[in-house]
Amino acid sequence: MSRAAQQWFAVDKQGLADLVASKGKVFILHELLQNAWDCPAVKTVDVLLSPVRGAPLVDLTVMDDDPDGFSDLTHAYTLFAPSAKKGSPERRGRFNLGEKLVLSLCEEATITSTRGQVSFGKAGRRETCRWPNRRAAGTCFQAVVRMTREELAGILEAIKMVMPPDRVETFVNGEKLGWHKTVDLFQAELPTVLADADTGILRDATRSCIVRLWEPREGEESHLYEMGIPVVELSGGEPWHIDVCQKVPLSMERDNVTPLYLRRLRAVVLNRVASSLSPAQAKAPWVTSTLGSPWVDDQAVKGVIASRFGAKAVIADPSDREGEHMAVAQGYTVVPGGAFPAEAWTRIREADALKPAGQVTPSPKPFSPGGTPLEMIKLEDWSPDMEAFAVFARRFARQAAGLDIGISFTADVGWKFQAAYVGRETEGTGEGQIIFNASRLGPSWFDQANWPPQVELLIHELGHHWGQHLDSSYHEALCRIGREAVGLALAQPELFRRIA
Q: What pLDDT score does 81 carry?
A: 45
Domain residue extents for the chain: 11-257, 285-360, 379-496
**Fold: same for 11-257 and 379-496:** no
155 pLDDT above the threshold of 90: yes
Highest mean pLDDT among 70-79, 103-112, 488-497: 103-112
Q: What pLDDT score does 275 carry?
A: 92
96 pLDDT above the threshold of 70: no
Q: What pLDDT score does 80 carry?
A: 43
Return the minimum-mean-pLDDT range out of 300-309, 366-375, 450-459: 366-375
At 248-257, the pLDDT tens digits run: 887 766 678 8
CA–CA gap between residue 272 and residue 267 (Å, rounded)? 9
pLDDT mean over 274-288: 95
Q: What is 379-496's CATH number?
A: 3.30.2010
At 39-94, the pLDDT tens digits run: 889 999 999 999 999 999 999 999 999 888 777 677 655 544 445 555 566 666 65
Residue predicted with more confidence, 2 or 186: 186
Please report which confidence band the pLDDT of residue 22 belongs to, taking 50, 70 and 90 as the band edges: low
At 385-418, the pLDDT tens digits run: 999 999 999 999 999 999 999 999 998 887 778 8
User: Which residues fall within 8 angstroms of residue 421, CB to CB, at 6 or more apart?
Assistant: 432, 433, 434, 461, 462, 464, 465
Please report which confidence band the pLDDT of residue 498 belongs to, taking 50, 70 and 90 as the band edges: low
* Beta strands in 245-374, from DSSP E residues, in sequence order: 313-315, 333-335
Q: How is residue 251 annotated by DSSP?
A: -
202 pLDDT above the threshold of 70: no
Count of C-beta atoms within a 10 Å radius of residue 400: 23
Q: Are 226 and 34 in contact (CB under 8 A)?
A: no
Residue predicted with more confidence, 271 or 370: 271
Q: What pLDDT score does 329 carry?
A: 83
CA–CA gap between residue 143 and residue 104 (Å, rounded)? 11
Mean pLDDT of the chain: 85
Q: What pLDDT score does 391 carry?
A: 92
Q: What pLDDT score does 492 carry?
A: 84
CA–CA gap between residue 88 and residue 299 (Å, rounded)? 34
Fold classification of 11-257 (topology level): Heat Shock Protein 90 (3.30.565)
- CA distances to 46, 101, 139, 492 from 80, in Å: 27, 12, 21, 100
Residue predicted with more confidence, 432 or 316: 316
At 301-330, the pLDDT tens digits run: 999 999 999 999 999 988 777 788 888 888
- Is this structure's pTM higher than 0.85? no
Q: Are 354 and 396 in contact (CB under 8 A)?
A: no
Highest mean pLDDT among 10-19, 263-272, 472-481, 483-492: 263-272
